[in-house]
Amino acid sequence: MHDLETLVYRKKRTFNLHQKGINSFVYSVKHKQVASCGEERHIILWEPYTLQQLAYLNGHNTSVSHLDINEERNHLISLGTDKVVKIWDTRHYECIQTIIDRVTYRPEDVLSALTYDPITHNIIVCSIVVKFWPFKTQEEIKTSHESPVSFARYNHHFDAVVSGDDAGFIAVWDIENGKLMSRF
């Protein structure tokens, strides 16, 4: 709650690092920072009290339409207009996971909203239907595919095996210890 008189007498300030329209913003209570996004294809993290820019998060190929935060795991979740969801580490300012929704929706092929539910640990996206994507930590991810494996390829540059299953999940395996490195 804010005292109205205090708010009225404060000096008005403007944050103007975005060159085009802003689509969404979120405030991290834990890190005391704001993340904002818009038409420019990047996310800006900034400090709301000094308006100091902390970081640019580059990685989306289209405009970024929605943001949400998973405070517990220090993650920022973003949705691009091309139906690509990215999960960012807010401590190191890097993308740690990319999820591509390849489902075609009719009449419009868009995802119109995104939110994170901290109780069920689901990323929720909406189009003409509501989809729940369970978010799992590396420890919660199983060590094998749940559906039949449809391909596996060795990558000699990264010394890893990439495998995919009939359900559309891709897994990256460390060849030396056989452990799962990532799954999307």
| CB of 77 closer than 8 Å to CB of 43 | no
Quote the pLDDT of residue 66: 96
Q: Which of 3-7, 39-43, 124-128, 167-171 has the lowest mean pLDDT?
A: 3-7
Strands (E), the chain: 22-28, 33-38, 42-47, 52-58, 64-70, 75-80, 84-89, 94-100, 113-117, 122-126, 130-134, 149-155, 160-165, 170-174, 180-183
Annotated domain spans of the chain:
4-135, 137-184
**The pLDDT of residue 8 is above 80:** no
Q: What percent of the chain has pLDDT over 70?
A: 87
Q: What is the mean pLDDT of residues 41-50?
A: 91
Paired tokens of 182 = 């990532």
Q: What is the mean pLDDT of residues 125-151?
A: 74
Nearest to 60 by CA among 34, 44, 40: 40
Half-sphere exposure of 157 (CA within 13 A, CB side): 1
Quote the pLDDT of residue 10: 59
Q: What is the mean pLDDT of residues 76-90?
A: 94
Amino acid at 36: S
Nearest to 63 by CA among 49, 89, 82, 87: 82
DSSP codes joined into one string, 92-118: TTEEEEEEE-----SS-----EEEEET
What digits encode the pLDDT tens for the residues 54-66?
A: 999 999 999 999 9
Quote the pLDDT of residue 4: 46
**The pLDDT of residue 132 is above 90:** no
Q: What is the mean pLDDT of residues 107-134?
A: 89
Verdict on whether the full-model pTM lies above 0.95 = no
Assign domain 4-135 to its CATH superfamily.
Answer: YVTN repeat-like/Quinoprotein amine dehydrogenase (2.130.10.10)
**Rounded CA Rg of the chain:** 19
Quote the pLDDT of residue 170: 87
Paired tokens of 72 = 């517990």
Q: What is the mean pLDDT of residues 148-159?
A: 84
